[in-house]
């Protein structure tokens, strides 16, 4: 007969689940000890068979419960052992999570827009598909005006065009607002320019327009100097050069000393030592009068700047195409910049 105390001892002495399983098969498996006794039942007389059957069933239940208890004991001691080894330090920093972030060009634009919002400018937008009227005519460039050639234009089949600059937003704003007007208008522009280090066929511009009584060139210069200092810091050299745009008089261009070559000359600044970042000027009286703004009472200044070129200067980026390529090796360098 089975010695239950001896078996209990054997179970107690096992230390792994594998050992225990081998013992369980030996006792309770199909070819096991208990089954061999059960098979012999049929040879016993009827009365004895019943009694012996009940005894064996009880024995089976007891054996199963002993084995199951041992399984639980081994599993929980194994878990405890593991927990001791794998202690958790809640003060460790979490794994770096790869979250998306705003494209660097949008962050540069936002920074510029914030500088002007602090000066009281309101942000507005205009359409990328424009008419000749807004892109040229209302800006003092009637049909066949030679200045239209300054902007190599993509024309669409429906007679419209892709705006070559954000200056049409000036006109749309003057149409529906009376002075004082103080707006900033960022947006995409398109030109058939030959691509090079500082020219792309698709690029952004940010237009600024201020119209009020008594606005003069000194206000324009002061505003631009304030902007350049906020963007590049006090030490960055900036120069104003007289220039021509049909919708301003006088007109100027602003250039910033090239940070790539420190002014010595390189492909980014086309060997000039300076990178032009914006066109500016006093709004032409003709442009104001066309929008029924009395140019004897009101005057204004406007400028349109290229945020890619500004970003190139801030970060020493030597080619404008990096802004469009979306190469993660480039974009990931700006993870921690411009978080305002
Ligand atoms: C203009 O587009 C005028 N509308 C600016 C203006 C506004 C003048 C208001 C007076 C009053 P310009 O073509 O120079 O000007 O372009 C202005 C700026 O846009 C440039 O200084 C440059 O920073 C940027 N830009 C122009 N063309 C490109 C291009 N192909 N790729 C990248 N940036 C460009």
Measure the CA angle with vertex 145, ends 141 and 149; round to 5°.
95
Residue 287 CB less than 6 A away from ligand 1: no
Separation of CA 33 and ligand 1 centre (Å): 95
Residue with tokens 């600024």: 208
If one counts every other C-beta atom within 10 angstroms of the C-beta of residue 216, the result is 11
From 255, 279, 283, 301, the mutation candidate for ligand 1 (largest count of ligand atoms within 8 A of CB) is 279
Domain boundaries along the sequence of the chain: 4-85, 104-334
Residue 306 Cβ inside 6 Å of ligand 1? The answer reads: yes
The pLDDT score that the predictor gives to residue 200 is: 95
- Ligand 1 within 6 A of CB of 130: no
Predicted local confidence at residue 336, as pLDDT: 61
Q: Which residue, judged by its Cα, is nearest atom 25 of ligand 1?
A: 306
User: Beta strand pairing status for 161-162 and 129-130?
Assistant: antiparallel
- pTM here is 0.73
CA end-to-end distance (rounded Å), the chain: 84
Q: Which CATH architecture has domain 104-334?
A: 2-Layer Sandwich (3.30)
Active-site annotation holder among 11, 172, 205, 280: 205
* Residue 52 burial (10 A CB sphere; 0-12, 13-18, 19+): middle
Q: Which residues contact 182 (CB under 8 A, 6 or more apart)?
A: 120, 121, 122, 209, 210, 211, 212
What tens-digit pLDDT sequence spans the chain (340 residues)? 678 888 889 889 998 999 999 999 998 888 888 888 888 888 888 888 888 888 889 988 988 999 999 999 999 988 998 888 887 788 888 877 777 788 999 999 999 999 999 999 999 999 999 999 999 999 999 888 777 777 889 999 998 999 999 999 999 999 999 999 999 999 999 999 888 999 999 999 999 999 999 999 999 999 998 998 888 888 888 889 999 999 999 999 999 888 888 889 888 888 999 988 999 999 999 999 999 999 999 999 999 999 999 999 888 898 999 999 989 999 988 876 545 4
The residue whose CB lies within 8 Å of the most ligand 1 atoms, and thus the one to mutate among 147, 304, 319, is 304
Residue 305 alpha carbon, nearest atom of ligand 1: 18
Could you tell which of 306, 314, 317, 321 is best to mutate to test the pocket of ligand 1, judged by most ligand atoms within 8 Å of the CB? 306
165 is catalytic: yes
151 classed as catalytic: yes
Which residue is closest in CA terms to ligand 1's atom 12? 279
Query: Known catalytic residue: 280?
Result: no
* Residues in Cβ contact with 181 at an 8 Å cutoff, skipping those fewer than 6 apart: 173, 174, 209, 210, 211, 212, 300
Active site residue 191: yes
């Amino acid at each position: 007969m089975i010695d239950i105390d001896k078996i209990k001892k054997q179970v107690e002495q096992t230390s792994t689940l594998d050992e225990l399983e081998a013992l369980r098969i030996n006792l309770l498996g199909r070819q096991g000890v208990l089954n061999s006794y059960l098979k012999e039942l049929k040879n016993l007389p009827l009365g004895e068979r019943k009694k012996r059957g009940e005894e064996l069933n009880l024995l089976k239940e007891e054996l199963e419960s002993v084995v199951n208890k041992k399984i639980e004991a081994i599993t929980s001691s194994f878990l405890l052992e593991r927990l001791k080894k794998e202690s958790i330090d809640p003060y460790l920093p979490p794994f770096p999570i790869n979250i998306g972030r705003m494209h660097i060009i949008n962050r540069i634009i936002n920074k510029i827009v914030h500088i002007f919002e602090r000066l009281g400018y309101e942000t507005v937008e205009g359409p990328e598909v424009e008419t000749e009227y807004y892109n040229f005519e209302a800006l003092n460039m009637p049909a066949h005006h030679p200045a239209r050639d300054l902007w190599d234009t993509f024309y669409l089949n429906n007679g419209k065009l892709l705006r070559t600059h954000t200056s049409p937003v000036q006109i749309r704003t003057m149409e529906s607002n009376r002075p004082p007007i103080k707006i900033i208008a960022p947006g995409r522009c398109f030109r058939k320019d030959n691509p090079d280090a500082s020219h792309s066929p698709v690029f952004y511009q940010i237009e600024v327009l201020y119209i009020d009584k008594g606005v003069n060139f000194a206000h324009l210069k002061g505003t631009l100097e304030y902007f350049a200092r906020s963007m590049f810091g006090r030490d960055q050299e900036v120069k104003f050069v007289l220039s021509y745009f049909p919708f301003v008089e006088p007109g100027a261009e602003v250039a910033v000393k090239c940070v790539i070559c420190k002014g010595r000359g390189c492909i980014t600044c086309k060997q000039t030592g300076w990178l032009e970042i914006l066109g500016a000027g006093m709004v032409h009286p003709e442009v104001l009068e066309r929008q029924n703004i009395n140019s004897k009472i009101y005057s204004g200044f406007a400028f349109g700047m290229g945020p890619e070129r500004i970003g190139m200067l801030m970060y020493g980026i030597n080619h404008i195409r990096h802004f469009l390529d979306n190469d993660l090796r480039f974009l990931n360098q700006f993870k921690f910049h411009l978080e305002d």
